[in-house]
Amino acid sequence: MSYKNYLIFDLDDTILDFKKGEQEGLNKIFKKHMVPEVRFDQWLPIFQRVNGRIWSRIEEGASAKELLETRFSKTYQEFGIEKDGRLLESEYRSYLDQNFFVLKGAKEMLEQLKKQNFQVVAGTNGKSSTQRSRLKGTGLEPFFEDVVISEEIGYAKPHQKFFEILMDRNKGMKTQNTLMIGDSLRSDIQGAINSGIRNIWFNPFKNENATEIIPDFEVATFEELQQIIELNSGIKQNSK
C-alpha cells in the first residue's frame, strides 16, 4: 500500500452483539419491576417504541444523557405506573456494561484485518463507560487504533461533526482511504454520506431498505464484508 487504509467500525450489532445483551438486560429490569398482569413480550414493544423515538432525537442532536434517563419512566407511564427513570437507567446500564457478547466471526475478521495492516477505528454512539467496558471485557480493545464515542465528544452519528472529530484524531485518515462499516442506515451510512466517506451497510438479517439512504455497498456476512474491504483497498485476498 502506498498509504494507510482506514476502517471505521460501528460497534453495536456490527461487532458486538448488542441485541443479545439488550434482551438480557431488559429481561432483568422487567423481572425486578414487573407490571401486574403484563408479560415481558407485551412490555418489550412499548419500551422499544419509546426507546426508538428517543434515539431518533439523539441522532438529530438532542442530549443523550437527559433523554436516556426518561426511557424507562416513559415506558412504565404507558402502563399507568410511575418509576424513577434515572434509577432504572442506572440499573440497566450496569447490565449493559457486562454485555460481552460478540457477533460470530467478528473477532476472526478483525484479526485478519490487523494482519493486513488496516488501521481500524471504532466510531460508536452510546455511553462511554458501557462501550469501553464491553471492548475491554470482550478482549477486542487491542484491535482498535482509536475509539470515538458520541458521549465523549458531544456529537452522535450521523452528525458531520462526529466524523470531523474522528478524522482529526486520526491524522492519516482521508475520505479517499477510509471506509465506514455499520448496521444502521440512519446513523452509520447517512453519517458517512454526509462526510463524503465510502460506506458498507452490514445487514446480516437482510432487512429491506425502506429509506432513501443508498449505501455504497451492502453485505450480509463478515466474509462478504472482508472481500469488499480488500477489493476497495488494493489488497488482494490472502490465499494462504
Rounded-to-integer distance, Cα 140 and Cα 237, Å = 23
Closest C-alpha among 63, 60, 28, 62 to residue 47? 28
| CA dist., res. 109 & res. 93, Å (int) | 28
Alpha-carbon distance 8 to 144, whole Å?
9
| Partners of residue 180 on adjacent β-strands | 8, 199
| Grid cell listed for 137 | 471485557
Which residues are tagged catalytic? 10
Question: Cell numbers at residue 218, please?
Answer: 451492502
Residue 31: count of CB within 10 angstroms of its CB: 9
